[in-house]
Amino acid sequence: MPVAVSRPLGVRHRPEPLWRSREAFFTEAALFVFGAAGLYSYNLIGALPGNEVLLLALLPVLLLARGGRAFESQYRRFYLVTGGWLLGTLISDRYNGIPMFNSSKGIARVVFFVLDFMALAIFLNRKTRRIVIFALSLAFVLIGSSLEFSGDFSIQWKFGVSQGLSILVLLGSSYLYAKQKYRLCLLISVVLAGLNLNYGFRSQLGVHFVSAVLIMPLFAQSTRRPGTQSPMRILLLLTLALGAAYAANASIKYAARHNFFEESLNQKFLGQSEGDYGVLVGGRPETLVAIQAILDRPIIGHGSFPFEMKYVQMKQDIQYEHGYSDSDVAEETDAPVIPTHSHLTLAWVEGGIFGGICWIYILILTIRGALRLTSLRPPLAPLYSYLLISFLWDILYSPFGSVNRIRAAFYVLLSYNILATPLPASARSLGAHIKVLTSSRRRPVRLVSRAAN
């Protein structure tokens, strides 16, 4: 039975406005500008990105207007563990006699991370539209910052273009995902992975493989308790994720052995493929050095930006012993900071055990969010999965500071929002909304337009 629509004669149908009010427009515009300001940075206490300069003026206004959003009960553990990290940093700096300048940078790193989280919690307010807008601002920053490397597109690809383009493309892929065109979504992720293989960006190659596998409808959703995860399901998903990472590692090894890359990059990957830990983590010897530094002082830590040449030499020794370097002689440096190159190990090395606990909590939170996506499968699952898997890599293998702080705060909030979703998003698809407009009765449903009211 067709749906009848009643509208007064002479009144044209008006499309839904892009913004419901001026307040919504200005809020979303401010959110985009807030994120996009990260394209610029200022040397105040270390490198302070533009969005944190704006934060100093914006946050008091946001707290006065909608401060309750930043202090929901769901976020209490985040504030607790980051507060512990800050306390650990203060104690470690005092115990190790860290100079005031280095200590102030270490403290500012934690404080601004928390302030970024508060501002975004107020701005985003768990609204999907605003999450998309902020993700677009991140893409703008990533692509804009890559222009610094114009002239060598392979470097430009690794330092911004790849991640920024992935956000834009996966946003489009999400439209197809909402229409259950899963094969096209998988093809898009494979193409993105192929581009990263072409330019030798190994971490993003693995990220695309893993994030695509996790959101494919490989398992039936639970009908008893939507969104829950059984131990067997989790084990299978983790196995698939490890299999995808292995496939990424194998792809790089295969391409290097068949001279797919330029000569210097080809030799680099061939050398790393012969190392004990493969190609994907072969470029991260800092992890093993940081683990040793943690074992040396697991409770108190080494303080903010600690200078200890023995760990710099240890990094070179590890590279040499495990087949990632031809020499065991470390390069001379005026600032021999303990190598970490990881959110988790940096926090633990510098802030002691409280810093480690903070990032272990965030790591588990993010894993839970990524696994929850496999049951919820919201329309934006391709984008969400990519962002969270990228964040997992950053926690384990990327430095923490500058514009990465606000990205990390955004990903933590995204994980909370996913975990707070009570029902599968598929139940709220466009098809479900259309069914609401139709009735099981045999008479037509009478809809009255706004103009008729």
pLDDT tens-digit profile of 180-207? 999 999 999 999 999 998 888 888 988 9
The arithmetic mean of pLDDT across residues 115-133, rounded, is 96
Tens digits of residue pLDDT in 322-365: 666 666 666 777 778 999 989 999 999 999 999 999 999 999 99
Does position 449 have pLDDT exceeding 80, yes or no? Answer: no
Angle of helix 128-146 relative to helix 162-178, nearest 10 degrees, comes to: 150
pLDDT tens profile 258-269: 777 776 666 666
Read off the pLDDT of each residue in 384-405 and give the average, rounded to a whole number. Answer: 93
Strands 446-448 and 4-6: parallel
Whole-number pLDDT of residue 248: 73
**For residues 22 and 39, which has the higher predicted lDDT (pLDDT)?**
39
**pLDDT band, very low/low/confident/very high, at 443 (cuts 50, 70, 90):** very low
Q: Tell me phi and psi for residue 301, to 5 degrees.
A: 80, -175
What is the pTM assigned to this prediction?
0.85
CA dist 414 and 369 (Å) reads 8
* The pLDDT of residue 448: 39
pLDDT in tens, 403-438: 899 999 999 999 999 999 875 544 444 334 334 333
Least confident of 99-103, 196-200, 378-382: 196-200
Helix axes 353-376, 343-351, angle to 10 degrees: 160
Cα distance between residue 160 and residue 163, in whole Å: 6
pLDDT at 447: 38
299's tokens:
């409770």
Which of 377 and 265 is assigned the larger pLDDT?
Answer: 377
User: Which comes out higher in pLDDT, residue 13 or 28?
Assistant: 28
> What DSSP designation does 337 have?
B
CA angle 161, 39, 44 (to 5 degrees): 140
Q: What pLDDT, on a 0 to 100 scale, did the predictor assign at position 236?
A: 74
Output the six-digit token pair for 88. 């650990």
Q: Which comes out higher in pLDDT, residue 381 or 269?
A: 381
CA distances from 111 to 48, 84, 322, 406, 415 (A): 12, 12, 38, 12, 20
Residue with the bigger pLDDT between 202 and 175: it is 175
Q: What is the mean pLDDT of the chain?
A: 83
pLDDT of residue 431: 38
Q: Phi and psi (nearest 5°) for 105?
A: -70, -40
| pLDDT at residue 300 is higher than 90 | yes
- Check pLDDT > 70 for residue 223: no
Q: Where are the beta strands (DSSP E) in 27-119?
A: 41-44, 46-49
pLDDT in the model for residue 278: 58
pLDDT of res. 402: 87
222 pLDDT above the threshold of 50 = no
Give the CA angle between residues 41, 39, 382 to the nearest 5°: 135
The answer to whether 303 and 93 have CB atoms below 8 angstroms apart is yes
Q: Is the pLDDT of residue 282 over 60?
A: no
